[in-house]
Amino acid sequence: MHFELLHQDKDTKARVGKLHTDHGEIETPIFMPVGTAGTVKGIHQYEIENEIQAQIILGNTYHLFLRPGTEVIEAAGGLHKFINYNRPILTDSGGYQVYSLSGSRKITEEGVKFQSHIDGTYHFFTPERAIDIQKSIGADIIMAFDECTPYPCDYQYAKNSMKMTHRWLDRCFAQFNKTPGKYGYEQALFPIVQGSVYKDLRQESAKYIADTDSLGNAIGGLSVGEPAEELYEMTEVVTDILPSEKPRYLMGVGTPINLLECIALGIDMFDCVMPTRNARHGLLFTSEGTINIKNKKWEKDFSPIDPNGTSSVDSFYTKAYLRHLIKTKEYLGVQIASIHNLAFYLALIKEARVKIMEGTFLEWKDEMVKKLGQRL
């Protein structure tokens, strides 16, 4: 596995690259649809590859560990074979899900004890166990086990948490290096920068992570409630330090505007549940702005969902019909909206790559940010 930096924008820190893996190449910048339990919700693999044109998807260690369990995944020959998807996969370590279970988990130096949201049973994740589970799942890119600090978060807590995340990272690498892979292809471990919204902590963490000389690096603990200005500020602080010859992954971000602004700051990889989560509530992203398809104004609008859309659903179905499906809670409506939103995200990122290569990214980005901020 290796990263190839192909072009650097002249006006911003945006860049175009290619991440080579044993399951295929990933053109960056890239958005990665979230497949929490081994599926991007309601969308089968044909649509993921052909309608949405995703180059890599995510799996979630916490959810896959609980169901179906590593025994089932190993028996299938790994997650790729289990879900019949032969493109690259990334798994997060479960750290964010543990963070979101704040009422039913306990964090210690050794690891995290947490209660399953499914049946109430207790489980214990250590850095070593998080690595072993991800080796069993078999993703191409696996993440270090970290603590995601909440927002707001006081300075001392953020500092102590960051230091523990670094100690956990050392344990992750030790376990990763001594544990062979199970399926005959290369896996890469990405460390995660933490430090909440404190510049000095982010700088310290970024230097620590850069010194690991990993194949790629991630930025965590953002998009957890902080203002957009702080998201951008902390991202820029970190990208100024992380090595330019390695891919940079901003975890859990975000809106289409967030993506464009963070591409300009030097981010290469993104993931977020927003496209599918918003789709389930009838919120559509388009090149002209955001649509709440449940609004009455669309009731008799028989124009295509998005005349500029890249997927077949955009021209095949009308706004009025999609509104009817969403209002009556027909699952087809959620499928259509999810395909549209994800295809829009991937098309937006693809266009960003073109604009970077053409040298017109900054002007295009500023124009798109204005459009994307509109409510239609």
Binding site residue list:
92-96, 146, 194, 221
**How far is the C-alpha of 213 from the C-alpha of 218, rounded, in Å?**
12
**How far is the C-alpha of 25 from the C-alpha of 21, rounded, in Å?**
6
Beta bridge partners of 209: none
**How far is the C-alpha of 53 from the C-alpha of 117, rounded, in Å?**
32
Q: Which of 9, 140, 268, 271 is catalytic?
A: 271
Quickly count: other Cβ atoms within 10 Å of residue 227's Cβ. Answer: 10
Cβ(203)–Cβ(230) below 8 Å: no
Q: Which of 9, 92, 140, 268 is catalytic?
A: 92
Give 206-275 as a DSSP string: HHHHHTT--S-EEE-S-SSS--HHHHHHHHHHHHTTS-TTS-EEETT---HHHHHHHHTTT--EEE-SHH
Cβ(146)–Cβ(209) below 8 Å: no
Is 271 among the residues known to form the active site? yes
Map residue 51 onto helix, strand or coil. helix
Residue with tokens 């203002």: 227
Quickly count: other Cβ atoms within 10 Å of residue 141's Cβ. Answer: 28
**How far is the C-alpha of 376 from the C-alpha of 369, rounded, in Å?**
15
Task: Please report the beta strands in the chain, taking only residues with DSSP state E, as ranges in sequence order.
Answer: 2-8, 15-21, 24-28, 30-32, 57-60, 89-92, 105-107, 112-115, 122-125, 141-143, 188-190, 192-193, 217-219, 248-250, 269-271, 283-286, 289-292
**How far is the C-alpha of 48 from the C-alpha of 43, rounded, in Å?**
7
**Binding site members for substrate:** 92-96, 146, 194, 221
User: Which of 319, 326, 322 is closest to 301 using CA atoms?
Assistant: 319
**Catalytic residue ranges:** 92, 271
